[in-house]
């Protein structure tokens, strides 16, 4: 995803103030409104709003560290999703976006259209099944993801193979970086078991899947 793992450079402070960890999601408008920046010195997390970014080419440039807002509960990936009937739909793993709007919320059990969200709290998100009168299909196994959308929006569920057998021996046609810009694999490199495990550790298996052939 754009900007993830890039360093954040403060012009006024003349130093690197951290690196981009993940998008910041505003559930009230179902949009990405900024990024979470991690300070490597103290491991604290801060909110960097989109409007405070001067440029985001090779790295992200801001005017001053003062635009960063300390945030105690920044990780939507720790949140669990339940229906308003108490049904457990899993823990959030990632998101997909169309521009800055959330297109899908991906849990370890299913994929959810964000229009189902009823409330978002400190520990969990509540979705309502009453609105569209349908239930959420479950994954048959960890390699199959079923998108919960209206029938007119999809023709078939996407399939993503996360088995190491699929990855090992294939060639990357793009360089992949992990957290803190740590190199996982260079363009033209072959995937080994070590590279697979490293991508898994950095939560980059989905990205690796789309850059190998």
Dist CA 90 CA 100 (whole Å): 24
Is the model more confident about 194 or about 147?
194
Please give the CATH number for the structural domain made up of 7-70.
3.90.50.10
In CATH terms, the superfamily for domain 76-153 is: PRC-barrel domain (2.30.30.240)
Output b/e per residue, 22-47; b: 16+ Cβ within 10 A: bbbbebeebbbebbbbbbeeeeebbb
Domain limits, the chain: 7-70, 76-153, 164-209
Structure token digits, residue 115 = 């229009």
Report yes or no: 94 and 106 within 8 Å, Cβ to Cβ: yes
Q: Is the whole-model pTM more than 0.75?
A: no
* Interval 31-73: pLDDT, tens: 778 888 988 787 788 889 989 999 888 899 999 999 998 876 5
Residue 154 — very low, low, confident or very high, per pLDDT cuts 50/70/90? very low
Cα separations (Å) of 119 from 28, 39, 128? 9, 30, 9
């Amino acid at each position: 995803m754009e900007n993830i793992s890039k360093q954040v450079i403060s012009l006024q402070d003349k130093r690197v103030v951290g690196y981009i960890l993940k998008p910041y999601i505003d559930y009230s408008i179902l949009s990405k409104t900024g990024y979470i920046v991690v300070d490597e010195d103290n491991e604290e997390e801060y909110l960097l709003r989109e409007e405070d970014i001067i440029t985001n080419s090779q790295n992200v440039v801001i005017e001053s560290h003062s635009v960063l807002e300390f945030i105690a509960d920044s990780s939507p990936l720790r949140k669990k999703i339940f229906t308003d009937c108490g049904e457990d739909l899993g823990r959030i793993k990632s998101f997909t976006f169309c521009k800055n709007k959330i297109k899908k919320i991906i849990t370890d059990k299913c994929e959810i259209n964000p229009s189902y969200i009823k409330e978002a709290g400190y520990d969990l998100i509540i979705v309502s099944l009453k609105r569209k009168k349908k239930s959420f299909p479950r994954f048959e196994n960890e390699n199959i993801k079923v998108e919960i959308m209206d029938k007119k929006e999809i023709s078939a569920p996407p399939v993503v193979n996360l088995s190491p057998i699929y990855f090992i021996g294939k060639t990357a046609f793009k360089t992949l970086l992990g957290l803190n810009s740590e190199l996982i694999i260079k363009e033209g490199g072959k995937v080994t078991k070590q590279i697979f495990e490293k991508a898994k550790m950095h939560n980059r298996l989905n990205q690796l899947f789309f850059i190998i052939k």
